[in-house]
Structures are given as C-alpha cells and as structure tokens.
Structure 1
C-alpha cells in the first residue's frame, strides 16, 4: 500500500488501521456480517390478545428486557381476534428480517386443528424461545360443598356436573373436556365469554367447577371468594403451594399452558441466533423471573428445538381431545 503523503505519522497509522479493518470486515461470512448490524431498528412483538391480559402483561415485561439487551426498543403490537389469524397475517406480511416477531401460545396448537388457518404455524414460523408456563385451576365457589377433588369426582359419579370455562375451543374449554374424559365422570360443558362470568357462575352455584388460570381470577382466589381444589400442572405452583395437583389426588390428568416467541420463516439464521440467545439470557434475569412468578407464570427460556418439540406434543394432545369430543367451530 502506498504511503499517504502530507499527513502526520499518527494520522497515517489511524487511516491505515481503519482501511485494514474495513478489508477484514468485507471478508466476514454474510451471516456474521449481518449479525453485527442486527437489529438495525426497533423491533415489533405482535401479540394475538388484547391489552391487560396475562399474555400481554408478560410480553411487555419481556419486551422491555429484550430491548435493553438488543439495544433497540421492542414494541408490543396487540392484534387480537380470529384465533390468532390477524396477528399471524400481520407478522407474515412484514419484512422477514427479524424485526417483527409474534407471540404464540398453547392456543396456537389448538387453532391448528380446530380452525381452517390460511397458514401453517409450524411450517411458516420458527420458534425462538419459550417465555412462560402456567397451569390452570379447578375452582369452586367459597360456599361449595366440595372440599377436595375426590369429593368432586365422587359427586360426578352420581350425577352430571356442570363444568364452566371460557370460549369453546380455548385451552380452558379443552382442559375441561380432557378432565371429563380422563376422570370418566358425567359432565355438561357450560361456556362463558369472560373469566369474570365464570367467577360469578361459581359464586351463584350455576356451575360446579370452573377451569381457569390463577392470573385470570387472582382477585377472587386471593380474596377467598374462590377455592382451588387442584392445579393441572406437573408440580405444585409457587403462587398456590398449598393446592395439590390433580396427579397428587390420583387423577391421570395434566395441562400446562405456555407462551413463546416465534419469528416468520425466512428470517436470516444470523438474526434468529441473535434473538434466541438474547431471549434465553433475558428469561434468566432474576428481576424478570420474580415479576413473572408474581403474575402466576413460571418464566422459562428454551432452545428453538425444545420449543418445537413442545408445540408438536401439544398439537397431538389437543387434536386427540378435539376429535374425541367432536368439537367444531
């Protein structure tokens, strides 16, 4: 390389070093070069639920931490409705450059079987990491005669029980269907539009038991208006440690809900690697974990392969429930 005339020695060295660095950068693999410049703008996390719910609040907490980690703001974009179709189509219509992500839930696995989707959640999207897991509760009103799950099952052997949940086809509804199937009790499904209506029906005695998350009816549970006979997860929860699981009570029954972050297929692998690693680091932060636990969810990051396996397991599980119960929308 020719000497650069008429410049002080220090300045010449700086220019030569800069030129050498630029030349080295041009030799980087395309993916690595992309990763060094990613993200280049604020990100958008599309949430298929309205503001204020568990998924929305959890997503906003995670998005704030993820933005700090990536050095770019992560904005939550609520697109509720139509079984997640609106949110999915908004994600697919955006550039597939890693700056637009979507929140999937176990409800997405249900929608794949129950609805005629204009896309395939598994073929058209790729997982980055799980975000949080939560179980449901078998709830009764404070004046209910059922003191534990065994008493409820004994009554279900004598007469049809009224099982309440939100929205036919929801995780809560299918959990009730799975409970009826695995416990072999007589039962009638009673649908409601909101979790609040489930609570009112329990307090009035219109239904015998309701299926809902702790987060959705936290006020009624903590305030003593509702009692949890059992939880549906694999182990007792930190937020209701005194309540046994259904398995503890001798019933072969387990339901776990989850939320996870996905990207549309076609995003460069370098960007997926950056996002996935950032998600796992964020989900391990103690202050975020504490806040999510207080909401009634268990924070948990994962590899893409682990999340894909969870999705497929739940898809098969709920497809069987839907088929056996002959549920149609």
Structure 2
C-alpha cells in the first residue's frame, strides 16, 4: 500500500519527536560531565585572595568529580585578559573563570571586549568579605569618630590609601557619607601602602580582613571599622562603620566563579551544588577562616539577581562620581 502521508506532516512529526527527545539528551550530557579536565582561569597573578580561594575550590571539585580541576593564571590588563578567554570559551563546561566584585564594576571604568553580565553564566559565590579601615598606630585617633574630627580640623589635609577599584569606591563613599574632605592616594596593591601606613606617613588605608588582621596583630595598625552591615566574625572587636555613626557606607566584596554564556543549565546546577556543599564542610570552613572568607551560598537565580543588582549599583555610583572611567 502506498504511504500517502504528506511530506510536510512527516517533517513536523520528526521535529516534534526531536524536540521531545532534547531534555533526555541534555540529561545524558549532564550525567557524564565532566569527562576530562576542567579549567578554572584566574585573571590575576598567583598568590592573591582570588587565586588562593579558587585553588581551594578546585581541589574540592577534583575530589568530588574524580577529574582534574586545574587553575590557570592568565593575568593582564587588570583582569581583562583572562576574563576574555572565559567569555570566548565554548559553553561545554570545561572552562570557567574566577572573578571579584570588580568584574561588574569594570564596565564603568573603561571599554571592555565583553559584557560582564550577558556574556557569562554565574556559577558560584565562592566567598564574601568586607573591607577594613586601618589607621596607622601613629595616627592621633583610635576610632572613626576621632578620624572625622581630625579631618574636619584640616579639610583636604588628610589622606586615605586605596589599592584597587573596590577600595577606591569604599573610600570615596565613606568620605561622602561622613561629610569630610580626605584625599585618596591610590597604591599598586596593599603591599605598597603598608610601609607608609606602619611608618605613619599615611594615616588611613583600606584593605581586606586577610590583609588587615596580621598588621593589627603586629601592632603596626589599628583597625577602626569594617564596611559590612554586621561585624565580621573574624574581627569581632572591630565596629562597623554604621555602628560608628556613619550611615550609607556599607560595602561587601566577593569572589565568584563564572562560565561562558549559554552554558547548559544541568552543568551549572551540578557545579553550583557541589561547591555549596563543599564549602560548608568543617575542613573547608577552617581553611576559609585563615583567609577571613565568609560564605553565603546562593543558587543560580540568586546569583544572577546579585549580578544585575551590582550592575545597577555601579551605574548609580558612576553617576554620583564615586567611580570614574580610567584613561
């Protein structure tokens, strides 16, 4: 008997069958991932907070999945070189990139060869941390109230050291919220300003808890405030800036892991879940404590919401003159 089914109907039926089969194929692909080594690209030199945190995560993922998760440092152009590699990678689950909270801010600082929101898939918020206000042990004040009083005696005569875009933002935001004139002195890294701070040539500087705590322990600096809404569990005796009477100066930095855009969701979910479970283990929490890293687990949708909120925040900050495009 001759099959008189129209070819168009056959084509529609084949398309429907293929469409129904796609979720099963996606699940099958997700089940076998990873089948080979995975790269975690850190767009900065070895040894920094982003690098150390990412290496801890890579070690745990290697043990979890039974495949090597290899950290590759691709420094250059303030993180742009390595980040561009991730943005252009195949979305197959074998290339990811570590970032800091300056990832979203970067579009306000100058032109980028990628979009920091739409060209990436957020995977994990690996850690969060506040910034710390450090005062030289030789400064004539011991708290934020004293700093403000001193700054008002000599408008524009005091200085505060910063070492990157996020500390620059925090410093400017604080000065505006406190209603004082204090000059920002940018340094190339925290190591560069620590000598001036300990010698008393610089009265105030901003850094991470991991940078600030050893300096305070040695007696070279006084820790006078943290930028988080609540006190840091690693610096419980240091008041928040808000506690000290200055509102509107909160800031929380983060380390995050991203994949390229269009990464299959099953892979993103698998890696997000594995990292969240790994970080809360007692052994990992103990290692995080040595870095003063705090952990706030988020799922993929929460992470994307955080990225978009950050983008809006930096747009407002630029409009208010708190961050500036660089030449």
Same fold (TM over 0.5): yes
SS at match of 2:84: helix
> CA offset at residue 217 of structure 1?
4.1
Distance 2:221 2:206 in 1: 12
SS at match of 1:289: helix
Aligned partners of 2:210 and 2:292 also within 8 Å:
yes
1:301 counterpart residue number: 297
1:60 to 55, 70, 73: 55
Q: What whole-Å deviation, never above 9, does each CA across 1:224-264 have from its counterpart, x for those lacking one?
A: 11111011112111221111010111111211100111110
> CA offset at residue 152 of structure 1?
0.6
Distance 2:90 2:310 in 1: 29
Distance 2:35 2:106 in 1: 33
Structure-to-structure mapping, 1:32-51, within 5 angstroms: 32-51=27-46
Aligned partners of 1:131 and 1:261 also within 8 Å:
yes
> CA offset at residue 27 of structure 1?
10
Aligned partners of 1:47 and 1:102 also within 8 Å:
yes
Which runs of no fewer than 5 residues in structure 1 stay unpaired?
Answer: 1-25
Distance 1:129 1:165 in 2: 27
> CA offset at residue 28 of structure 1?
7.6
Distance 1:265 1:106 in 2: 18
Q: CA RMSD in A?
A: 1.7
Structure-to-structure mapping, 1:25-104, within 5 angstroms: 29-104=24-99
Q: Give the alignment's TM-score, normalised by structure 1.
A: 0.87
Q: What whole-Å deviation, never above 9, does each CA across 1:202-232 have from its counterpart, x for those lacking one?
A: 1233322101112134432221111110111
Structure 1 residue ranges, 4+ long, deviating more than 3 angstroms after superposition: none
Aligned CA distance change for structure 1 residues 151 and 27 (closer, same or farther; 3 Å):
closer
Structure-to-structure mapping, 1:152-171, within 5 angstroms: 152-159=147-154, 160=156, 161-167=158-164, 170-171=165-166
Matched, 1:106 2:101: yes
Matched, 1:266 2:235: no
Which runs of no fewer than 5 residues in structure 2 stay unpaired?
Answer: 1-20
> CA offset at residue 53 of structure 1?
0.8
> CA offset at residue 121 of structure 1?
1.3
Aligned partners of 1:105 and 1:257 also within 8 Å:
yes
Matched, 1:289 2:323: no
1:251 counterpart residue number: 246
